[in-house]
Amino acid sequence: MQRDIWKNSSLGFLTVNRDQGRGDVGSTQRVHAADLNAVAGPHVKWSNQIAYNQNENTTGGGIHRWAARSRFAYDSDRWEVQGRYKYLGRSFDVSEIGFEPETDRHSADASVVYKPFLGRHGIRQIFFELNQDISLDTRGVTQDSGSDADLRIQFKNFWSLRARYSYDLVRFHRFTPNFGRLADTRIYIEPRVRLFFETNENRRVALGYNFTWRKMAQFRDNFYGREQRHQLNVSARLLGRTRVQFNGVWVREFLLDGAPFQVRRLWVTRVNQQFTRKLRTRVLAQLSNDRRGQTYNVNGIVAYDFTARSALILGYNFQRGSPLGPGDLSNEFFAKFSYLFHF
């Protein structure tokens, strides 16, 4: 049930119930919730929700069966302010009647953006942003948190420069000196500096470059160290309706004592061709290598759109690693047909 209140605001109530038999054991999930969405003038929005979980098979009770969230937003031509908070008790479970990826959590974030239009000295607009987020379990143990400071300058020709500093904390498994994984966890500190340069993406040819220096936990390889990353992006609109994009990434990783760990490279090329309003094709080719070896990927499709929601797609996939992996493909062809009927 929902009712409009005040001006552009609403109050609502929701109850969801599901009874499911599983042999001799049944399962019941019930959740009751209330929502309040308030709008004050053209700039302020405030949304809230509180929910109670009444599952019969859920252990625990009290506050841990509850969940709540609140979001405040103020947005004007010059300022943008946001604040959010979410609580999920250890016994709050909607896995069979909805979707919520987290549980046992207090999380909050806040951000402030100052974005004045200058219109002089070749500068169109400046964006300066500060934000902070934190996530704890209900026992008060930090799971992750982060702070960011971001400055972006957009020029009158729509080129832009950007600098960003981030300081993150993340909890994950402890790593052994030989890159193994232990059962207990620790907090990893991940400071990061990023510099960006981009030309006008609406031009026939657009360029972008970014540089990243950071300390990071590499969970795939189980090590904690430093990274230097360079990334170049080029996109071009050729004659007709052809668009070509190239992305090149070069990464150097080091252990904390400065010893080199690995060099990773990634090259991605995309070609999109719009033959007619209904007929199009796309090809993507990717080559990557690191200390694990090399991987080649090719993906292509030809699509004919009968309507906005009806299409015939013919496709091809190829993936090969060196050394070979269990997920490698040789040649895969596929077809997909969808048609929407109107009644």
Dihedral over alpha carbons 142, 144, 145, 146 (to 10 degrees): 160
What gap in Å lies between CA 32 and CA 54, rounded to an integer?
8
Q: What are φ and ψ of residue 43, in 5° steps?
A: -120, -20
Residue with tokens 């806040």: 110
Alpha-helix residue ranges (DSSP H) falling in 211-333: none
Tokens of 292: 């694990």
CATH T-level topology, domain 43-338: Porin (2.40.160)
**What Å distances lie between residue 67 and 18, 61, 64, 133, 196, CA to CA?**
19, 12, 8, 19, 39
DSSP 8-state code for residue 104 = S
The confidence score (pLDDT) of residue 327 equals 67
Q: Give whole-number Cα distances, 76 to 7, 13, 82, in Å.
A: 19, 31, 12
Which token pair is 147? Answer: 């702070």
User: How far apart (Å, rounded) are the C-alpha atoms in residues 142 and 105?
Assistant: 10
Q: How far apart are CA 289 and CA 254, in angstroms?
A: 17
Q: What is the pLDDT of residue 2?
A: 93
Exposed e or buried b for every residue in 9-32, given b needs 16+ CB within 10 A?
beeeeeeeeeeeeeeeeeeebbbe
The pLDDT value given to residue 23: 56
pLDDT at 156: 94
pLDDT bucket at 13, cuts 50 / 70 / 90: very high
Per-residue pLDDT at 56: 73
Convert the pLDDT of each residue in 17-69 to its tens digit. 888 766 555 678 889 999 999 999 889 999 999 999 887 777 767 888 999 99
The mean pLDDT value of the chain amounts to 91
Q: Are 161 and 196 in contact (CB under 8 A)?
A: yes
pLDDT (tens digit per residue) in 232-283: 999 999 877 899 999 999 999 999 999 999 999 999 999 999 999 899 999 9
**Cα dihedral across residues 125, 208, 289, 229: positive or negative:** negative
Question: Which region, left, alpha or beta, applies to residue 6 given φ > 0 means left and ψ of -120 to 50 means alpha?
Answer: left
Per-residue model confidence as pLDDT tens digits over 119-158 = 888 999 999 999 999 999 988 899 999 999 999 999 999 9
Q: What is the pLDDT of residue 98?
A: 79
Residue 186, pLDDT > 60, answer yes
Average pLDDT of span 207-222: 94
Cα 25 to Cα 21, 22, 57, 91, 176, distances in angstroms: 6, 5, 10, 20, 44
Cβ atoms of 227 and 190 closer than 8 Å: no
Over residues 209-222, the mean pLDDT reads: 93
Look at residue 299 and tell me whether its pLDDT is greater than 80.
Answer: yes
In the numeric block, the tokens 């760990």 are attached to 261
Q: Are 204 and 236 in contact (CB under 8 A)?
A: yes
- pLDDT value, residue 145: 95
Count other Cβ atoms within 10 Å, centred on residue 302: 16
User: Hey, how many other C-beta atoms are within 10 angstroms of the C-beta on 133?
Assistant: 16
What's the pLDDT tens digit per position in 132-141? 999 999 888 9
Tokens standing for 114? 């100052």
What mean pLDDT comes out for the span 100-129?
A: 92
Strands (DSSP E) along the chain, which ranges?
Answer: 2-5, 9-22, 25-40, 44-53, 66-75, 79-88, 105-114, 117-120, 123-136, 142-155, 160-175, 181-198, 205-218, 223-237, 242-255, 260-274, 279-290, 293-307, 310-322, 329-338
- Interatomic CA distance for residues 225 and 239, integer angstroms: 46
Reported confidence tier of residue 174, pLDDT bands at 50, 70, 90: very high
